[in-house]
Chains A and B, each alone.
Chain A
């Protein structure tokens, strides 16, 4: 289920659901949940299966049980849209969650910070934790190491026999790591890796590190 990776001198665990756990700080990082998206669609008459929205909460609970983190930090795009009733489910979940909750605000997070704070979620534009700078958008220039979301990274693989696969992934590029989207009804964006980039693909219940592409071209 998990794969350990060293980044910024720290040992981080990547989980096959797209979560990152930093044991030393007891911190769970998640990005791009897009809660409320399914309800938003339904509100406008597009009948996306409602049951799908529970997956987010089930997985959140599952991760809490596995890692027992002290804190959870969401790297933006936590709630997809304007208020809708899915908020109540989040409120309920946040109320019974024993962890401290923090949100690095993303472009989709248009719900008022006051509402977040009312359910115990601290909001900020960015956060510094140890060597890491946590942001929603991957930064162009920064000090230390950057952990971010926003992109919904995926990778396309090719093999003999005209085989192709597209998989969501953790994307590591120098001092920057981008987390995959955690949300149940979210798409992904195919990256174009450069030599030296490191990729950790989400493959069902496993994390599979991919070879560095440099020097392996055919």
Chain B
């Protein structure tokens, strides 16, 4: 500690205020509150939206704290890391660095600011290992990687602040768990650490603070929650087609409204066009250019698969007002301050209030300016969603982000990380880990189980076994000594799992981006696909690289990225139902959107009915595909997934039957090769909440949902290797299929904690048992309207055409096979 005079806190804050005034600004109350709390030694969570000046709310006190402790700061800066800023998106790191450097420059603090993300070069990383920058900006994954390096404890000793930016984005994901674990370690190795989170508005802010700091921790006791409370005016406008009759019932692109988008772009300085998927982004970009070739050079595209250089260039160009429009995905959701953005267009339902508000907030980015967002529905029923969105901006309900509990896969990864670097003593780490929110309820037995798993790869020692990972040293330290194990583990760190990514390159050289393997696997030589805004002809795959050349052909396939399917939050579903029910009201009491949907509702009434608030609609009809049974709870995709699974399971108990299940945000379908006796379904009270948990649990075993969750768990916990094409590392001999692994676990170790986790996660994060129960209770109070229809109805159309399906069967395999008439043959496919 420096012995110089400790200047008073107000004097320090005075410096910050002076700096603001020099820029011609005045600090917001939330910024001052944060400065005071930080300098008063508090931890905390700052609730502030993007573009509100939240970076200055935390960089300032971090730097002022340094000034307070080192009055001789200009002469010599003591070596070592001072503060870490965590950002979930690499794209944001430049921006955060710039705001830090702006302050250090003006206050003449000779600090170095470093960035360490997946984009950081090997040589830069090596330099950082030699000498840490004073301020480090990094991602949760890269922070884990730092914990996997020898002597990490020494590197972090001098660190006195860590800021977790966009905490709401991390909270409901396994990256959040990764962050909780890293913080639990840093609390010990960095004795004077202050922990701060920054979060946009979500429903469970108090819980967010608990998760960040630890539910029973001293840090939580000594913390504050600061709310920015900047009321920002947001206006939502729906883009409506001129003729409703031609509006498609389904289709996720929304291109029929292209004509309406052009004038919006023309009338605004810079427009951000948000799409929900990367493929949609690619197509829109191309179509806009085709429609308005004059935009060439003035519009750009931004999504996660495009290489870093291009993304940075786009971000810079937005700031410099060189672009009319940028078509983007959630890659531009966060952070970056793009003052010139005047208008935002949302294509397709954003599926969540918080996300929508955040996107709306991207326009009129300066505090106090009005935000304008256009909503472009991609199919008719989405217009109902548009109407619901209008009401959300008046502040009706923002959803929760549900934190993960007992994510053993992430814990296994973390413990291996510690074993790879300096090794760990279980006693010490158990105390730290059980103080986290995620593992607060972990039992001693589960912990012991995990330790055994790390060392033996099972729960008992067998002589012929050669399992090799973590070893227990003589003094009880858990350590990885094998270099191969350590190397493979470092490659594997990161909890966001996708398909294997392949690098796309021109045959003559030149990196374009990365693309998921399964898309490429469908291409043949000579096929043309759209990627990064270009039409590319597929030549071949060589050493995990996709070689392509430019193509002049117009029509092309567009890669679809799996990503997460978005679903409506409970609040959105509620608003959506209210809007839908207004279809039965007189015209003058309907919103513009509902009124313009009149033709669709008319058609629906002709074929079936439009349900009112007290009604639960069931439709049945037959097509060439089989017998369709549709149910419309309007509760959002996840609830429908659970309900479809539950209902089909209960029906399958009555008699052997096989179902194919499909769902969207409005309802779900049970498709079968024979007709259900719907009266029997209704008479047997199959929507009851009795035995709900039990039946749902059993239905999970009958479907494939847990199997899909297991894929991620297997990768995160190191049960399977994915290979690392980007890094030129091939481990083909160790690649296995997680499906195969799932079967082996099911048959031989069904009580394995990681196998069980797949079921638990499906339950806790996907099926939302609580919401399902409420929905079933609501249905119980409604009148069932069952319509036997002639043919598909407007409501049913988007559901029955969905190809992403679940299946459930209570029939004997041999019986099913005997009824399958069609073998997929080469001929059959053509």
Contact = CB atoms under 8 A, between A and B. Distances in A.
Given A85-B464, A194-B826, A217-B822, A161 B673 contact: yes
Interface residues of B, number: 60
B677 interface: no
Contact of A50 (B462, B740, B826): B462
B744 interface: yes
A118 interface: no
B828 to A, nearest CB: 6
A208 B818 contact: yes
Contacts of A192: 824-826, 829
A85 B466 CA distance: 7
Contacts of A184: 744
Contact of A213 (B467, B745, B823): B823
Contacts of B747: 52
A116 interface: no
B465 interface: yes
A49 B745 CA distance: 6
Interface stretch (B353-361, B522-530, B716-724): B716-724
A50 B820 contact: no
A40 interface: yes
B627 A161 contact: yes
Interface in B805-824: 805, 807, 812-814, 816-824
A161 B827 contact: no
B820 A51 contact: no
Contact of A193 (B718, B740, B825): B825
A23 to B, nearest CB: 24
B733 A193 contact: no
B787 interface: no
Contact of A162 (B805, B826, B829): B805
Interface in B723-762: 733-734, 736-737, 740-741, 744-745, 747-749, 752
B626 interface: yes
A159 B817 CA distance: 9
Interface string A72-87: 0000000001001110
A40 B823 CA distance: 36
A45 B469 contact: yes
Interface in A148-170: 155-165, 167
A125 to B, nearest CB: 24
A46 B820 contact: no
Contacts of A40: 733
A203 B817 contact: yes
Contacts of A194: 825-827
Interface of A: 39-52, 81, 84-86, 88-89, 155-165, 167, 184-187, 190, 192-195, 199, 201, 203-204, 206, 208, 210-211, 213, 216-218
Given A160-B626, A165-B813, 12 more contacts: A39-B465, A43-B467, A44-B468, A46-B736, A47-B453, A52-B747, A160-B625, A163-B658, A165-B820, A193-B825, A201-B817, A203-B813
Pairs of residues from A and B, 6 with the lowest C-beta to C-beta distance, nearest first: A161-B626, A47-B457, A161-B673, A159-B820, A160-B673, A85-B464
Interface of B: 453, 457-458, 462, 464-469, 482, 484-485, 488-489, 625-627, 658-660, 671-674, 718-721, 733-734, 736-737, 740-741, 744-745, 747-749, 752, 805, 807, 812-814, 816-829
